[in-house]
């Protein structure tokens, strides 16, 4: 994984880039992930998330993004750009309207439909990070 090492070389944190245009959902997601021990980088647009990735992709252990959002690019575009440029970053897509296939995401991505249950989201985050790290 791409976790930031501590002084003895062991990975201490797993960073999740969370992209959601609804501030309430974004705040809730970040809170629950932080309670589970993750470090989160919240972004309210795919454009802002891409800027973060261009500077810090080597620290990101998971991209968790909604598909539908305003901006120059949406979550599907972000997932495709991430898969093209940083294939080491696993993708977890959420949407209440589309699937990765219907949105044109061309890379392997885990998917969770909105509205999701808290336990379901946390299980999928864990399994997506773990499964990607052993592939």
CATH number at residue 22: 3.40.50.2300
Residue 62 confidence class, pLDDT cut points 50, 70, 90: very high
Domain assignment present for residue 135? The answer is no
pLDDT in tens, 1-25: 343 433 333 344 789 999 999 999 9
Domain assignment present for residue 78? The answer is yes
Supply 91's token pair: 């993708």
Domain assignment present for residue 6? The answer is no
Which of 6-10, 28-32, 37-41, 119-123 shows the lowest per-residue confidence on average (mean pLDDT)? 6-10
Interval 100-123 mean pLDDT:
96
Q: What is the pTM assigned to this prediction?
A: 0.89
Residue 134 confidence class, pLDDT cut points 50, 70, 90: low
CA–CA distance, 134 with 17 (Å, rounded to integer):
20
CA–CA distance, 84 with 76 (Å, rounded to integer):
12
Domain containing residue 110:
13-129
Our count of domains for the chain comes to 1
87-121 core/surface letters (b: 16 or more CB in 10 A; e: else): eebbbbbbbeebebeebebeeebbbbeeeeeeeeb
Residues 6+ apart with CB under 8 A from 22: 66
């Amino acid at each position: 994984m791409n976790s930031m090492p501590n002084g003895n070389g062991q990975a201490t944190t797993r960073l999740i880039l969370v992209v959601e245009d609804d501030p309430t959902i974004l705040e809730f997601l970040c809170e629950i992930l932080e309670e589970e021990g993750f470090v989160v980088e919240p972004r309210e647009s795919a454009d802002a998330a891409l800027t973060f990735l261009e500077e810090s992709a080597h620290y990101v252990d998971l991209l968790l993004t909604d598909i539908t959002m305003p901006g120059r690019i949406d979550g599907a575009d972000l997932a495709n750009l991430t898969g093209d440029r940083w294939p080491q970053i696993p993708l977890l897509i959420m949407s209440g309207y589309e699937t990765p296939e219907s949105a044109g995401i061309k890379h392997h991505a885990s998917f969770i439909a909105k509205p999701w249950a808290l336990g379901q989201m946390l299980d999928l985050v864990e399994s997506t990070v773990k499964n990607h790290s052993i592939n």
